[in-house]
Amino acid sequence: MKEKAVTLNDIAEKLNLSTVTISKALRNHPDISLKTTKLIKTIAEEMGYTPNIMARNLSARKSNTIGLVVPKIAHFFFGSIIECVYDLAFQNNYEIILTVSQESVEREKKHLQTLLAMKVDGIIVSITQETTDFSIFDMIERRGVPLVFMDRIPEIANGYNTVRVDDRGGAFKAIEHAINLGYKNIAHFGGYHNINIGRERKAGFLEAMQKYGLEVNESWVTEGGFGENYGYDTFMKLYRENNLPDLIFAVTYPVALGIYMAASEVGLHIPDDIDVICFGNAKVQNFLSPPLSCVDQSTELLSKHAMEMILENIEKREDYEPRQVVVDTNLVLRGTCIRFNKNR
């Protein structure tokens, strides 16, 4: 037989006090002395009392929960984001309700509707690669629920809280570095154009090529997503066409991983036969052969700014002015894109 949940009345009856006194003590109300508060909390713990958080939240009109919507979970970048956000939320007495869209716009919309129904205090979201209808975000704004777009930013983001890395500048750094090594035949395996990271990383690539007067081979500039399969399939297509470049700039680490897999399968060695650099850093890149050079985007800073924005927005509500934060990038050189093989 299940034990009955301990209530405020049970504690009040045991201590011969009113339920109002018990309730105030458990909330550290100044009307109750420290001695009485300590006694009540000790007895409550001994009796196994658990506060009804949902009821308390309804009364206070605050849930101390923040919704987090990410497109993937089995991904180093988003895994690191989740860990950082959870840690920062805990430090500020908030709980995170995590949802994962799996790059599905239908799931994303359902998750957002569920979070609204759960009365979360705010929402942090990184949109899917399919998201083109932004009406759900307009509805969230109309309801007055604080919203922060992080990393992947929709085109309607003007006037919203946004935090992202300098995708264009980071891509430019990578290509400029490669050009200075002597590379000219450079490909870009890019992401979808409807998402800022796809647009901006491609723009940085093209800007660097134009600055140094290098011709852009249109067959080497592709658009197909952010995952391993895209990197693998695009590499194999160019290989079969005998149309491989000297260097590939991959829009994400998973795309670069797909390139590694394809190159290994056809017997080409990185970086001697073909070279690779990517956008996005992951610890596992140190263990690839060779270790992969990349543009590093700080998940710690992205998470920090996103949490600061959402907490301030929750606190100030109507008096809050949305902000747009851009985090700088760093070039991390490992075992690729560190020298140009003239004999290739």
Note the pLDDT of residue 158: 75
Q: What is the pLDDT of residues 265-280, one digit of tens each?
A: 999 999 999 999 999 9
pTM attached to this predicted model = 0.82
Q: Are 257 and 231 in contact (CB under 8 A)?
A: yes
Structure tokens at 169: 């500048």
Note the pLDDT of residue 27: 82
Q: Dihedral of the CA atoms 107, 108, 114, 116 (nearest 10)?
A: -160
DSSP 32: S
Give dist(CA 275, CA 270) in Å, integer: 5
Cβ burial of 183 (10 Å; 0-12, 13-18, 19+) is buried
Note the pLDDT of residue 54: 58
**Integer CA distances (angstroms), 298 to 52, 80, 84, 328, in order:** 38, 10, 11, 8
Structure tokens at 284: 């596992």
Q: Are 243 and 219 in contact (CB under 8 A)?
A: yes
Average pLDDT over residues 110-128: 95
Considering the chain, what percentage of its residues have pLDDT values greater than 90?
Answer: 76
**Which domains occur in the chain, in start order?**
8-51 (no CATH), 64-165+298-327 (3.40.50.2300), 167-297 (3.40.50.2300)
